[in-house]
Chains A and B, each alone.
Chain A
Amino acid sequence: MSSGIPPWRATASATATTSLHSGHAAPAYIPVQARRSLTSKAAKPAPSPAAPLTSTEAADRKRVEFPEAVRKYVQRSFAPENRLPGVERREMEIKLKTIITEAAESKLLDQIDWETLPLPQVMVQNDRNRVLASPGVSSWGVFGTASPKKLTVVDDLSKKRKSVEYQGDANGCPPWRQTNSQNAFEDRITYPSTDKRQKIDMKNTSKSKANLEMRRKRFEDPNARHGSSPSSRGDSPTPSADQGPVVGRCQNLEKNYFRLTSAPNPDTVRPLPVLMKTLDLLKKKWKKDNNYGYICDQFKSLRQDLTVQHIRNEFTVSVYEIHARIALEKGDLGEYNQCQTQLRALYAQQLGGHPTEFRAYRILYFIHTRNWTAMNDALADLTAADKRDPAVKHALDVRSALALGNYHRFFQLYLDTPNMGAYLMDMFVDRERLSALAAICKAYKPDVKIRFITEELGFESDEQSAHFILDHTAEDLLQEKDGVVRLLTSGKAGQLFEGAKADAHRVVDIKGQI
C-alpha cells in the first residue's frame, strides 16, 4: 500500500471497475472479462487499486470502523502462507476490496461469517476456472496457456483499442475517411441503453493513469493514433485485422449489438441467408411494435455481421437504406448520418438501391447541419441525371430558396416534399420561420395579418402561427384590430425575432441523437 490507504476505502468508481472481475456480467461479455484478468500479467497494469484515491477524497469519505473479524480476514488474505500460485497480489487486492466494499455498502459487515468466507485469492481462482469452463470462450482460453508472444498480441489489441477510444473515433479510421469530418464527434455511435459494458469501460479507461499512458503514446509515436494503416511507421502488427472475411454460422435471427473489440467469432455471426430472414423479421417488428431502441440495436448488429463477412451487395444497400429511413423517422440523426455516409460509398459502386432518394436527403441534411463545406461536396457529387430527379431537384430548390432568403418559395417546397424529406425539413423549418419573421418585421409596416403569416410560413392554422410567434417572443406583438389578429411589425418585434433566429441557428450544431 504505497499511499498508506487500504484498498477498501478506495472510491466508488474504482469499485465499479473491479466488479467487472467478479464475474456476473452477461455471457456475451465473458471474452472481455477473461482477457482482462489474463493480460494483467503483462507489463502495463490496469489502474492500481490505491492509486485513484487522493487525500481530499479520503477526507470526504466517512470513516468506517471495521469489525475485528474483517481485519483478521484481511490479515489472512495477505499472509504469505495463503498465497496461491498464479494469483497475483494485485488481483487479490482488487478482489478483497470488492468483497469488503460490497459488504460495507450493503451493511453486511457484521453478518458475514468472515472466519469461513473463502479468501479473495481463492475466489479469483474460482472465477477464472468458471470462465475457462464456459462455452464460447475457447479462442480466449488459448491465450491463457499461450506463449508470452501471444500475450503481447492481446496487449497490442487492447492498447490499440484504447487509443482509438480516446480519439473519439471508434471506427478506427482516420478523420479524413469520414465524409463529414467536421462533425466526426457528434456522428458517433448511439449506444444502446442496455450496454453496460460500454459504461464500465469508459469509467475504467478514464482514470488518470490511462490518460498519462495515452499522453505518453501520443508523443512517442503519432502514427499509432491512427492505427489503421498496417504499413505505417512503428505500427505493431495487428494480425486479426488482416485476416480474410469471417464466415458466420450463427442461426439466431436476433442479436444484440456490441462493438467489436476483437476478431469476430464465427459462432456469433449470422450468414447472409439468416440475415435476410432477420431483415424481414425486423421489418415486421418495426411495423408492429415501433420500438426504436430495439430496432436500432438490431440493425447495428445486422450491419456489423455484413461487414465482418465482407458482404456488399444489393442486400447491404437495402439494410442501410431501411435503417436510414427508420432513423430519419425517429429523428436519430447520428445513426442516420452513419448510414448516409455508408450509402454514399455503396452507391458509388452501383449496387442498386435508391441513390437519388438518398442524395436528396443528403442535401437536406447538410442544410440542417449548415455544413457548407460538405454541401459543396454533395453538389459536386450530383450528375446531370441526378439533377433531373424530382426529389433531388426539390432538395436543390430548397437549398437555393434558403440561400437567397426566399421564404415564400421555401415554404411552398416544404408543403410539397417527396419521400421522407419532410422529416428532415421539419428539423429546420422552425429556424427558417424565425428568419422569415425577422425579415417580415423589418420589411412590412405597420403590421401584417396573422393569416398572411400562416400562409407564407406554412403553418396549419392561424392559431398555430400565433402560438409560434408568442413562443419565441415574450412580448405581446399580436393585436386584434378590425376583427383580425395582426402582428405588429415594430422595430422591437424585429429585434426579438432576430434574437430568436440567432439562438435557433446556434443550437443546430448539436445534433439530435436519441
Chain B
Amino acid sequence: MPSIFEDFKEGQRIGSGPRLAAALTPVAPAENPDRLKAFFYFSNSTRLPSDLRYSLFQATGIRLSKQEANSWIEIFSPYWKAVGEIVKFDEAPSHASWVKVFDAWKETTNMLIRGYSTNGLQAWTVPCLYIVGRYLRTFAQKADAELSSQDSVAFGDRFQDDAVTDFRNAKLEEATRVINRMFTLCLSDRASIEESRKWGIYDTTNLLFKSYFKLNSVGLSKNLLRALNASSADLPEMDAFPKSHIVTFKYYVGVIHFLDENYAEAEEHLSYAWNMCHQSAIKNKELILAYLVPCHLVTTHTLPSKKLLSSFPRLEELFRPLCNCIKAGDLGGFDAAMTVAEEEFVKRRIYLPLERGRDIALRNLFRKVFIAGGFDEPKEGQPPIRRTRIPVAEFAAAVRVGTHAKEGSRVDMDEVECLLSNLIYKGLMKGYISRERSMVVLSKGGAFPGTGV
C-alpha cells in the first residue's frame, strides 16, 4: 500500500478520482497500518505549508496551476491536523477526542468545498468529496457520542421562546450543513456535463439522506428531491451514474415514499434498487427487502416466498410468523405476531403497512367460509355454481374461530358487517351486504379476486 503522497501523485498523474481520494482517506489500510502516522510525522505545524508544497508538488513533479496547487495545500493542512488527532487514539488515547477530529475534518471539508467553488479544483476529482463527506458524517456521529457521554440536554439560545432544545446531535447537524453545501456545489455547477461536478450529486444526496434519517427529520429529504427534480433537465440519465450511487439513492427515495404511505411509488423505486443492487451486497439487499416485502403486501397482497427469503435469515425470522398467519386466516395469531414483533417493526418503520396484512388474513378467512359453503343445487346440464348467498352469521362464526374467541364471549354482528363492508370496499371481496336479510350476496364470477375463486 503506497503512502498518502504516492496516492496523490498517481491520482494526479493518471487523472483518477478514486485514487486521488484514497490519499484523503483517514483510515490506515491493513497492509500499511502506519500510513497515517507516517503522514503525520513527516512534518510539524510550523513547517507544514512548505513541507506540503515540497511533498505534494516538487518531489512528485506534478504541475498544477498556482490556484489549484494552493487549494490542495489548503486542503492537506487541516487534513494533516485531523490525521494528527486520529493518530492520538493510538498513541495517547486519554488525550484523543473525536470532537477535535471532527473539527479538523470539518475544516478539511470546508477547504475542499472552497477549492471547488473558487474553481481551483477540476471536476474529475469529485470522488474526494465522497470520501471527505462520508468521513465527516462518521466523525460527527462519533463526536456526538463522545459529547453525550459528557453532558446531556442544554438550553438553546435565548431568542427562543420555549424551554428545551436537543443537542444530542449537534455535530451531526453541523456536518449536515456542510454536506448541504456540497449538495449545492454539485447541483449548481454549470460547466458542461463532461467536466461537471453534477456527477457527484447522487452521492452527496445520499449522504444528506442518511443524515436526515439519523436526525429524525426525514421531511427535509423532500426538499432535496424537489431541488433535484427542478434541475432534472440538466442532469444526465440516471443509468449514466455509478450504480453504487443510484442504488442507494433509489433505496432512500423508496423509503421516503414508503414512510408517506405512497406504497405504489415506494415499490417502484425499491424494485429499481433491488434489481440494480450488486449480487454480493447481501446487507444492502436485506435493507431493500425489509421495505419491499411490506410494500408488496399492501400493493399486490402477496407474501414473500421461502426461496426469496432463504438468503436472509433475519428477514425470514421477522416476516415468516406473520406470513403464516395471513395465509391461514388466523386473526388471533396475526395479532399476537404483531405484538411480539411490534418493537422491531416500529423501529424499522414497517409496523403500519404490515398491520394492513390483517385485511389479507381476514380475506383468507372469509374465503374459507365461501369454500366451505359448497355448491348450490346444480341446474340441468350446467356446471355447478358455489353458494353465493351466505348469512352474515356464518362469517361471524368464522371470526370467532379466527380470533380464538373464548367460549361465552359475544361477537358483535355489526362489527362483522363492518369487516365485510371494508373488504368489499377495498375490492378484496366482490358482492354486497343486504342488511334487511342479514345476508351477504357474493359475485358469481370471482368472489375473491385474484385467489382463484
Cβ contact within 8 Å between B153 and A176:
no
- Chain B proximity of A303: nearest CB distance (Å): 6
Choice from B157, B358, B435 contacting A242 with Cβ under 8 Å: B157
Contact with A along B39-80 (1 / 0, CB 8 A): 000000000000000000000000000000000000000000
**Which residues of A have CB within 8 Å of B425?**
405, 438-439, 442-443
- Please state if B347 and A380 are interface contacts (CB–CB under 8 Å): yes
With most chain A CB atoms within 10 A of its CB, the pick from B103, B176, B217 is B217
Which of B220, B349, B415, B441 lies in contact with A406, CB distance below 8 A?
B415
Within 8 A of B (CB), among A215-266: 222-223, 226, 228-229, 231-233, 238, 240-243, 245-246, 259-261, 263-264
Q: Counting CB contacts under 8 A, is B261 at the interface? A: yes
Contact A173 to B156, CB < 8 A, known contacts A307-B163, A404-B359, A443-B421: yes
Instruction: Identify which of B176, B177, B184, B259 gathers the most chain A CB atoms within 10 Å of its CB.
Output: B177
Answer whether A263 and B158 are a contact pair too, CB < 8 Å, given A373-B260, A380-B347: yes
Q: Does A143 contact B (CB under 8 A)?
A: no
Chain B residues near A233 (CB, 8 Å)? 106, 110, 178
Nearest A-chain residue to B157, judged by Cβ: A241
Interface string of B314-326 (1 = CB under 8 A from A): 0000000000000
- What's the nearest-Cβ distance from chain B to residue A302, in Å? 10
A409 close to chain B: CB less than 8 A: yes
A379/B164 contact (C-beta < 8 A), A345-B153, A408-B414, A456-B418 known = no
A88 interfacial by beta-carbon distance below 8 Å: no
Given contacts A403-B356, A443-B425, A444-B432, contact A306 B156 (CB under 8 A): no
Query: In the bound complex, how far is the Cα of B159 from the Cα of A310, in angstroms?
Result: 12
Tell me, in angstroms, the Cα distance from A424 to B346 when the chains sit together.
Answer: 24
Residue A175, interface by CB 8 Å: yes
| Contact present for A346 and B352 (CB under 8 Å) | no
CA distance A177 to B169 in the complex (A): 9
Contact with A along B168-194 (1 / 0, CB 8 A): 011001101110110010000000000
Q: How far is the CB of A281 from chain B (nearest CB, A)?
A: 20
B293 to chain A, nearest CB (A): 17
B426 within 8 A of A: yes
From 284 to 332 in chain A, residues with beta carbon under 8 angstroms from any chain B beta carbon are 300, 303-304, 306-308, 310-312, 316
Say yes or no for A407: interface residue by CB 8 A criterion: yes
- Write out the residue numbers on chain B whose beta carbons fall within 8 Å of the beta carbon of A456: 414, 418
**Quick one: which of B173, B426, B435 contacts A174, CB cutoff 8 A?**
B173
Bits for B374-390, please: 1 = Cβ < 8 Å to A, else 0. Answer: 00000000000000000
Distance of A424 Cα from B140 Cα, bound (Å): 40
CB pair A404 B260 closer than 8 Å = no
Q: Which of B390-422 contact A (CB under 8 A)?
A: 412, 414-415, 417-422
| Cβ proximity bits B348-364 to A, threshold 8 Å, 1 near / 0 not | 01011001101100000
**Is A452 in contact with chain B by the CB < 8 A criterion?**
yes
* List of A residues within 8 angstroms of B156 by Cβ: 171-173, 228
Q: Which of A164, A260, A373 has most B Cβ within 10 Å? A: A373
B residues less than 8 Å from A304 (CB atoms) = 161
Mask of B69-99 contacts with A, CB within 8 angstroms, 1/0: 0000000000000000000000000000000
Report the separation of the CA atoms of residues A400 and B212 in the bound assembly, to the nearest whole angstrom. 28
Which residues from chain A contact B424 at a C-beta distance below 8 Å? 439, 442-443
Q: Which of B103, B164, B432 has the most chain A CB atoms inside 10 A of its CB?
A: B164
User: Is B216 close to A, CB under 8 A?
Assistant: yes
B261 with A406: CB separation less than 8 A: no
For the complex, is A338 an interface residue (Cβ under 8 Å from B)? Answer: yes
Q: How far, in Å, is B426 (CB) from chain A's closest CB?
A: 7
Contact between chains at B164 and A443 (CB < 8 Å): no
The yes or no answer to B239 lying at the interface (CB within 8 A) is: no
Determine how close the nearest CB of chain B comes to the CB of A217; give it in whole angstroms.
14
| B163–A380 CB distance below 8 A | no
Q: Chain B contacts of A376 at CB under 8 A?
A: 259, 346, 349, 351-352
Chain B residues with CB under 8 Å of A449's CB are: 435
Does A232 contact B177, Cβ atoms closer than 8 Å? yes
B355 engages A373 (CB within 8 Å): no
Judge if B219 is at the interface, Cβ distance under 8 Å.
Answer: yes
Residue numbers in A under 8 Å from B106 (CB-CB): 233
CB atoms of A303 and B161 under 8 A apart: yes
A194 on the B face (CB < 8 A): no
A307 touches B355 (CB 8 A): no
Interface centre among A189, A223, A246, A449 (most CB of B within 10 A): A223
B356–A443 touching, CB < 8 Å: no
Q: Give the CA-CA distance A445 to B443 in the complex, in Å.
A: 13
Indicate with 1 or 0, residue by residue over A334-348, a CB within 8 angstroms of chain B CB atoms: 000010011001100
Q: Is the CB of A444 within 8 A of B433?
A: yes
B434 within 8 A of A: yes
Indicate which residue in A229, A308, A443, A446 contacts B158 across the interface (CB closer than 8 Å): A308
Tell me the complex Cα distance, A437–B26, Å.
62
Which residues of the partner chain B approach A176 to less than 8 Å between Cβ atoms? 169, 173, 176, 212, 215-217, 220
Smallest Cβ distance from A157 to chain B, in angstroms? 9
Size category, A interface: 35 or more
Could you say which of A172, A177, A241, A407 contacts B418, with CB atoms under 8 Å apart? A407
A349 within 8 A of B: yes
In the complex, residue of chain A having the shortest beta-carbon distance to the beta carbon of B110: A233
- Whether A448 and B355, one on each chain, are in contact in the complex, defined by CB atoms closer than 8 angstroms, is no
B231 at the A interface (CB under 8 A) = no
| B165 in contact (CB, < 8 A) | yes
Residues of B within 8 A of A259 (CB): 161
Bound Cα distance A181, B170 (Å): 17
User: How far apart are B413's CB and chain A's nearest CB, in angstroms?
Assistant: 10
Cβ–Cβ < 8 Å partners of A261 in chain B? 159
Q: Does B305 contact A (CB under 8 A)?
A: no
A295 to chain B, nearest CB (A): 16
* Set of chain A residues within 8 Å of B169, measured between Cβ atoms: 176
Are B173 and A172 neighbours in the complex by a CB distance under 8 Å? no
Residues on A with beta carbons closer than 8 Å to the beta carbon of B163: 303, 306-307, 311-312, 316, 342, 345-346
Asked if B259 and A404 make an inter-chain contact with CB atoms under 8 angstroms apart, the answer reads no
Q: Tell me how far the C-beta of A31 lies from the nearest C-beta in chain B, rounded to whole angstroms.
A: 14
Question: Are B162 and A403 in contact, CB atoms less than 8 angstroms apart?
Answer: no
**With an 8 A cutoff between CB atoms, is B235 at the interface?**
no
User: Please, which residues of chain B bring their CB within 8 A of the CB of A306?
Assistant: 163
Contacts of B165 in A (CB 8 A): 173, 177
B213 CB to nearest chain A CB (Å): 10
Within 8 A of B (CB), among A135-186: 161, 164, 171-182, 184
Q: Quick check: A222 and B422 within 8 Å, CB to CB?
A: no
Instruction: Among A228, A260, A310, A444, point to the contact of B434 (Cβ < 8 A).
Output: A444
Which of chain B's residues have a CB closer than 8 A to the CB of A477? none
Q: Does A222 lie within 8 Å of B181, measured CB to CB? A: yes
Of all chain B residues, which has the CB nearest A184? B219
CB-CB < 8 A to A444: which residues of B? Answer: 421, 432-435
B369 close to chain A: CB less than 8 A: no
21 contacts between A and B (CB under 8 A): A173-B165, A175-B217, A181-B219, A232-B177, A259-B161, A260-B158, A303-B162, A307-B163, A312-B164, A341-B162, A342-B164, A345-B163, A373-B260, A377-B216, A404-B359, A406-B415, A406-B419, A408-B415, A440-B421, A442-B421, A448-B435
A228-B156, A373-B219, A440-B421 known; 20 new pairs, CB 8 Å cut-off, are A173-B156, A175-B219, A176-B176, A176-B217, A177-B166, A260-B159, A345-B153, A346-B163, A372-B260, A373-B260, A376-B259, A376-B346, A404-B358, A408-B414, A439-B422, A442-B424, A444-B432, A444-B434, A445-B432, A449-B435
A-B pairs, top 8 by smallest CB distance, nearest first, are A176-B217, A443-B421, A408-B418, A345-B164, A241-B157, A439-B425, A182-B219, A445-B432
